[in-house]
Amino acid sequence: MTVTCVFGMQWGDEGKGRIVDLLAAESDFVVRYQGGANAGHTVIVGEEKYILHLLPSGVIQPATINIIGNGVVVDPVTLMEEIDGLVERGIDLDGRFFVSDRAHIVLPHHKTMDEALESLRGDDALGTTSRGIGPAYGDKSRRAGMRAADMLQPERYEEMLRANIGAWNAILDKAGLPPIDVAAVMAEMRVMGERLRPYVADTTAMLIDAYAAGRKILAEGAQGFGLDVDHGSYPFVTSSTTGPAGVAAGTGLPPKALDRVIGIAKAYVTRVGAGPFPTQDTGPAGLQMAEQGHEFGTTTGRPRDCGYFDAVLARRAVLTQGVDAVALMKLDCLSGLSEIKLCTAYELDGERVDAPPAWSGDWERCTPVYESYAGWTEDLGGCRRFEDLPEAAQVYVRAVQDVMHTPIEMISVGAERERFIPLPDGVPDEPVPGETVPAQP
């Protein structure tokens, strides 16, 4: 396998950083292909915890080359803070981190506009991360954006920046808000351009060469399938193509290059921000998931809503994104629930629904059709083989695999690097008798 994509199958926060970190050890390149600093990928190595918003999760592996592809929107301020933070912790990125010269830049006023647009939406606010993502991608689509290459050529971009800010100021003027100061933005971007300079490169050429040479490339998705701008719960989505469908566009690798797709799904579901969430549980079970899973946004600190596994969303992700294998995350966080529900379909106006509705208002009115599974009380942190899991957990995991029609090839049972169960052949068809209740190491 030379090109693998890891992406989230739910509404983000599935634990992608953790899997990318594991796979990065065997990869020559890790490349982010979409999103921006709205992501928050957590990697834990020993006692050390790293939270990455923009840098690819492969930066923690000393020999991996990390790339921010052309499909990402780059906030240079956040990027530099992140680089400085890693350097302080002894992680050197020289010669192994590059930003595409074609990547669009999140300008300071994109963040201001993100917040202004949200407040203008009032009750219909999307609950964005305020990281300027929508305005930056909006500028890209309306062909008014600034790219990393432009930052290196101040004389070229000044005129573009004036035109760009002029358009946003017209909106601010209508909303009765103060205008953006062009000179201040220009001054900041000049400084940022110089800091960015050593990292800016034609990363498409680098990746094409690496692919031709048979080097291993890992494409790291951010957010999740439910937040995909085309397939997610529009308009309660982010502004990019979150799945493997975005890899070719966001890196320059040919679409045919991708030969393995790993979907990441939590054993339950979380969502942060507004939008449909049919399996949300606002009772004690949801609260327990939130507590055991420490479900607070890595980027915004907002508490995440929690609920049961949604196979309607997962199947749609499998079918549209060509998932070869699933990594099921945070199974340990379900310990202690007496009953675990699994949503196999929705019901809307008395009809069974097997695919997410196009209109988010309909999606919101869907009620889940549940199967019910017995819970378990054991701590799963010490399980390293499938047969170490209590039988109830084995039964639940098999049911999740069956409703997705896709093999689960890995189960995570804790945040630390070594806490997972590899399943190269997927979950076995029959329960595997356990030996003893696993002990917490």
Q: Name the residue type at position 75.
A: D
In the complex, the smallest distance separating the C-beta of residue 277 from ligand IMP, rounded to whole angstroms, is 11
Q: CA 238, CA 138: separation in Å to the nearest integer? A: 11
* 126 sits near ligand IMP (criterion: CB under 6 A): yes
Contacts of residue 56, defined as CB under 8 A and 6 or more positions apart, other chains included, come to 20, 30, 31, 32, 66, 67, 68, 220
Q: CA 134, CA 128: separation in Å to the nearest integer? A: 9
* 229 sits near ligand IMP (criterion: CB under 6 A): no
What one-character DSSP code corresponds to residue 213?
T
Phi, psi of 33 (to 5 degrees): -115, -5
* 133 sits near ligand IMP (criterion: CB under 6 A): yes
Helix (H) / strand (E) element for 41: namely strand 41-45
Please say which residue, 263 or 273, places its beta carbon nearer to ligand IMP: 273
Q: CA 319, CA 41: separation in Å to the nearest integer? A: 25
Among 15, 40, 76, 438, binds ligand IMP (CB under 6 A): 40
In the complex, the smallest distance separating the C-beta of residue 211 from ligand IMP, rounded to whole angstroms, is 27
In the complex, the smallest distance separating the C-beta of residue 379 from ligand IMP, rounded to whole angstroms, is 27
* 241 sits near ligand IMP (criterion: CB under 6 A): no
* 83 sits near ligand IMP (criterion: CB under 6 A): no
- Of the candidates 13, 101, 228, 332, the residue annotated as catalytic is 13
* 227 sits near ligand IMP (criterion: CB under 6 A): yes
* 39 sits near ligand IMP (criterion: CB under 6 A): yes
92-109 burial code (b ≥16 CB/10 A, e <16): ebeebbbbbbbbbbbbbb
Q: Cα–Cα–Cα angle for 72, 17, 273, nearest 5°?
A: 70
* 129 sits near ligand IMP (criterion: CB under 6 A): yes
Nearest by Cα to 265 from 170, 175, 342? 342
Structure tokens of 204?
Answer: 């498409």
Q: CA 36, CA 20: separation in Å to the nearest integer? A: 17
Please say which residue, 12 or 145, places its beta carbon nearer to ligand IMP: 12
Structure tokens of 137?
Answer: 């991608």
* 110 sits near ligand IMP (criterion: CB under 6 A): no
* 38 sits near ligand IMP (criterion: CB under 6 A): yes
Q: How many residues bind ligand IMP (CB under 6 A)?
A: 20
In the complex, the smallest distance separating the C-beta of residue 245 from ligand IMP, rounded to whole angstroms, is 17
Structure tokens of 207?
Answer: 């990746």
* 128 sits near ligand IMP (criterion: CB under 6 A): yes
Q: Cα–Cα–Cα angle for 87, 5, 94, nearest 5°?
A: 20
* 42 sits near ligand IMP (criterion: CB under 6 A): no
Please say which residue, 266 or 315, places its beta carbon nearer to ligand IMP: 266
Which span (94-102, 125-133, 185-193, 261-269) binds ligand IMP, by CB under 6 A? 125-133
Cis, bond preceding 235 (omega within 30 deg of 0)? yes
In the complex, the smallest distance separating the C-beta of residue 385 from ligand IMP, rounded to whole angstroms, is 31
Please say which residue, 171 or 187, places its beta carbon nearer to ligand IMP: 171
Q: CA 378, CA 439: separation in Å to the nearest integer? A: 9
Please say which residue, 235 or 422, places its beta carbon nearer to ligand IMP: 235
- Look-up of token digits 């076995």: 428
Among 112, 164, 238, 394, binds ligand IMP (CB under 6 A): 238
In the complex, the smallest distance separating the C-beta of residue 46 from ligand IMP, rounded to whole angstroms, is 25
Q: CA 179, CA 345: separation in Å to the nearest integer? A: 49
* 131 sits near ligand IMP (criterion: CB under 6 A): yes
Among 27, 64, 223, 360, binds ligand IMP (CB under 6 A): 223
Q: Contact at 8 Å (CB) between 195 and 97? A: no
Q: Is 92 tagged catalytic?
A: no
- Of the candidates 21, 41, 104, 231, the residue annotated as catalytic is 41
Contacts of residue 359, defined as CB under 8 A and 6 or more positions apart, other chains included, come to none
Sign of CA dihedral 273, 278, 279, 283: positive
Which span (90-98, 154-162, 234-242, 287-295) binds ligand IMP, by CB under 6 A? 234-242
Which span (32-40, 179-187, 280-288, 345-353) binds ligand IMP, by CB under 6 A? 32-40
Contacts of residue 284, defined as CB under 8 A and 6 or more positions apart, other chains included, come to none
* 273 sits near ligand IMP (criterion: CB under 6 A): yes
Using Cβ positions, the residue closest to ligand IMP within the complex turns out to be 273
Q: Is 41 tagged catalytic?
A: yes
Please report, for residues 68, 215, 346, 353, the alpha-carbon distance to residue 349 in angstroms, rounded to integers and kept in the order given: 45, 52, 10, 10
In the complex, the smallest distance separating the C-beta of residue 71 from ligand IMP, rounded to whole angstroms, is 14
In the complex, the smallest distance separating the C-beta of residue 276 from ligand IMP, rounded to whole angstroms, is 11
Q: Which residues bind ligand IMP (CB under 6 A)?
A: 12-13, 38-40, 126-129, 131, 133-134, 222-223, 227, 236, 238-239, 272-273
Residues marked active site are found at 13, 41
